[in-house]
Amino acid sequence: MDVLSHYSSPIVEFPATQPLEKQHALVDNCTGTDPPPPSQDAATGTQEKLHVATQTEQRVVSSKDVEYDERALAKWLRQICPMVERELMNPTPLMEDLTMSQCRLEEKLQVYTYQKLIMGGAENSQGLAIWLCVHTNNAPVLVATTVAPHDDWCEHVDQQLKLFVPQRMSVGNLVIYTEAKTLPLKSCLRSLCTNPFNKTMFAGSTMDGELFIWLYEQARGSDSSVDIKQLYSVSSTQGAAVALDWPREHLLLACFANGSVRQWDLSRQMALDWEYTLPATVSSEPTAMVTLGLDDFVVGTNDGGVYRCWNTGRQTAAIKQIKLLALRRHRFMVSTLLRTEMEGNLFVLSCDLSGQAFYHDMRLVDEDMAQLIVQIPLPFKNVIACSRDGNIIFCPANDGSLEYYRVSDGAHAHVKGGLRGKGSLIRSSDNGRWLIAGLYGDEFQIFYVEH
């Protein structure tokens, strides 16, 4: 047997998992005499059950402790109530309803590719085109030109303005557009606009700052010859006019990139009537303009701004006192401004490069009130045209095709094209039956709308 000796072993400590000062009552499970706790039916429990994602602590707050802005609340209600009413009256349709709406749109409004026009312009050119007066079979005369690519100054001295006249075909109730006149230009055109009060008259602004007024003439009687006569021309120190429009038959309004707006009187000679410069609050250059009446117009800018400008009173001076109102703003450059009527009321339709379109009600002074907003489906649409009632929006698509949308129910339809490239222009005739889009390579595409 080994001899035992005195030896101190190391202390192995097992720390307590509970505080030492905390006492626990030990109860034998087998011999407990305490009565069991009263059972509670889970189905009839009175404990409030809250959703995990939305649990909040209930707190009763007196109405005296709440502070709110009544004017801001009233403004918010004015904004939200019309939208709620429209959604209740016209809820978002299901996919089946959209398909049926598209079929009904194509049946009710049939659009056909009609004719291609070869222009003979420079490579990578863009196009300008406008419709003039009706010539035959509800088909209007067409004026078109190409705009060559520019870095700064225009050196294209051999440009042409072409006149296309519809001629009846011997078979069927059809017309074919033929080139009837070519007008030489010393510079590319920046803008073109038909006089809506006299559709034989039109104006154009060249890149070098000249303004031209032309008159389309058709021979009377058996002579079928046509001609373009230059009525007036004037040089402007403001550069090229980015937009032109006609407030009256003998009044031409021009908007320039530097923010200057000028009006010429053509009643006797082409004389400057008045001029106006957009205020410093409009920090971006104008890109589009449309007139609403005498001394009343809307301007769109490069940064998405839309402004209504009108004269506060008739002044005798050449410089007008113009009041400016900022309308609903776009996110991108305003490419199109159109004047239209919906249910007898005047609207301005604006569109930016993303395809977002706004209908501005000109009866409303407070632009914060709800306006009709249309988001054209992608791919991006840079320019639009609309029907006479403002309910149909037409957009040029790739390769000479066309897309059109009905605002009332969101239905859209597509017309397949046969060209190459992407169109940057679209114009609708005054009678709503003809569309021209382009430039696709070196060609314009004419569409016919059958109501």
Q: What is the CATH number of the domain that holds 130?
A: 2.130.10.10
* 58, part of any domain: no
Which pairing describes strands 189-194 and 201-206: parallel, antiparallel, or unpaired? antiparallel
Per-residue model confidence (pLDDT) at position 183: 94
Look at residue 273 in the predicted model and tell me its pLDDT. Answer: 92
d(CA 266, CA 9): 119
Name the average pLDDT for the chain: 81
Residue 33 falls within a domain, yes or no? no
- Residue whose token pair is 């320019």: 383
- Between CA 162 and CA 177 the distance in angstroms is 12
Per-residue pLDDT tens digits for 66-91: 565 777 777 777 777 777 766 666 55
Pick the range with the lowest mean pLDDT from 282-291, 312-321, 402-411. 312-321
Residue 27 is predicted with a pLDDT of 47
Question: Is 321 or 385 the better-scoring residue by pLDDT?
Answer: 385
* Structural domain total, the chain: 1
Domain range for 300: 105-450
CA-to-CA distance for 206 and 235, rounded, in angstroms? 10
Residue 7 counted as domain residue: no
In a domain, 271, yes or no: yes
Q: How confident is the model at residue 372 (pLDDT cuts 50, 70, 90)?
A: confident
63 lies in a domain?
no
Give the 3-state secondary structure of residue 329: coil
Position 79 scores a pLDDT of: 76
Q: What residues have CB less than 8 Å from 276, skipping those under 6 apart? A: 260, 261, 262, 309, 319, 320, 322
- Cβ-contact 321, 311 below 8 angstroms: yes
- pLDDT digits over 303-348, tens only? 999 999 998 765 555 567 788 999 989 989 999 999 999 888 899 9
Q: Is residue 93 part of a domain?
A: no
pLDDT tops 80 at residue 26: no
Classify residue 127: in a domain, yes or no: yes
Distance CA 104, CA 89 (A): 20
**Would residue 49 count as lying in a domain?**
no
Query: Among 11-20, 56-65, 143-152, where is mean pLDDT lowest?
Result: 56-65
CA distances from 23 to 15, 26, 32, 156 (A): 16, 9, 19, 101
Query: Which pLDDT score is estimated for 94?
Result: 47
pTM: 0.76
pLDDT at 53: 47
Contacts of 272 (CB under 8 A, 6+ apart): 262, 263, 264, 265, 318
